[in-house]
Chain A
Amino acid sequence: MNKKALILGVIVIAIAITIIASSSTPSETVNLDMGRTHGSISTTMGSPIFGNPDAPITIVEFGDYQCEMCYRWFHASKPQIVENYIDTGKANLIFIDLAFLGKDSLKAAQATYCAEDQGKYWEFHNMLYNSQENVDDGWANSERLKAFAFSLGLDMDLFDSCFDSGKYSKRVQYNIDQAKKHNVHSTPTFIIVGDNQQKQVSGAQPYDVFVNVFDSMI
């Protein structure tokens, strides 16, 4: 009897400790849809969906925050896609990290998910692509990433604890593995998923190419 009571007591204490521990850092919980897939791609560990989640087309972008071509696409083609397809609910966008160019690429990718914890993934993502400089020249080192977080008004205690602990290192690695699994060997690469079909577009291609691909899918 006493033995049973002891085991029960231990279980109750363990549950209580778990609840207290998780409630003490509510903003650091990971809100992941574990079954999220788009076409053949598992987007579970990717970015939050930008745009209408029920849009008929999903653009899955594989990118690196230090990639010059990703920067080029971000500034040259993406604005028109956002204006004409994402803002109108025809398409949505998911970003998956293929962080391979340098050591700061991995840090930058992890930092975006720390920003996601505070609801500012896309703001942080945009800030990185607006601030890009040369590969590993310090523009995306730990100090600068924290400075970006600060300038976005994030809670720095939460951000620092998330970033310094490497909380999202496995998430980023999972995304890199997803890219390799789909034979993505360069950034940016886009897999455009429509009803029962998906097409790959490699490189910082112009807006018109995306329009043609979208039109062939709708």
Chain B
Amino acid sequence: MSPDQLTALLNTALSEHLAGKIPGKELMQLERLSGGANNETWRLTWGGTPMILRRRPFSADSVDQLEGNILGLSLVDEAAVIQLATSTSVPVPDIHAVFDASHPIGEAFLMGFIPGESIPQKWLVDDTYEVARSRLAFQCGEALGRIHSIDCSLLPANIGPTTLDKRFAAAQKRLHAFGDISPVMQFGLNWLIDHAPTEAPCVLLHGDFRTGNLLVDEQGLAGVLDWELTHQGPAEEDLGYLCANVWRFGHLQNPVGGFGGYDDLIAGYASTAGWTPELSTIRYWEIFAALSWGLVCQTMGALWHSGHGDVERAAVARRRSEAELDILLLIEEWGNA
């Protein structure tokens, strides 16, 4: 859809949805932000109020055949979870309008714009964010503790509890469906199955809580974005995911997202969750996160083959090698620990 078409559709829809809530007559400054291989992200202003539109450029039906739908929730469900999170003190944007797949705009939602820096390559290194970085691991722990306390009975029906065995089976099914092309991915899954931790109660997980999805200002955590992979699972999964090598942006010496240490993350988590996670279990989930990233890359390759996506998506398929490398490194470290 061209920016002009989208502008026209949004003008009609927003006049209706935002009437009496946010003053404005006409959409201004619509701009596609780069990044985001699944969903489009657009910035716009309405009567001087900056907003963000998230839109899925293809119908959800077209990816139904991909087992486990690693592309995540519908944007409608994602918006519902963000709205639930606003009941905690986790910083999330306000949801202004939600459009389902039958709307001419397509599946999309409109949310508030939170000021802050979203580009990790900036906030991970700029002096401006030095204080923020020193606080961030603790703050991320706090935020995750709060997210995990959200009452799962309030979730959309699509976000149900699961078990490790079901997760393993879904991963195995995807490896087969994607052609069994990687002995390293299979080796990693076998290892995860053989070293599974004791089954723990399910909590609501953000599911994609990583450096690239955080908004940071000079005080630290300003926003938690991109809830499309939210699901239920054991709490340590979110903690391990944040520590995965692939999301450290090259700062391997700082295991928490490239900016912090395990101790601060665990202490922050304990302060809001009321219990202290084990480091070894967090590290198990780092390996799981590596496998998941590899599966995301394979999904991107499969989607590209089915005609969805541009050269970026084709290129992301090759980033599976990052996941494979980390799987081997981490399993080796586990054995030597």
A-B complex is real: no
Binding site for B on A (CB under 8 A): none
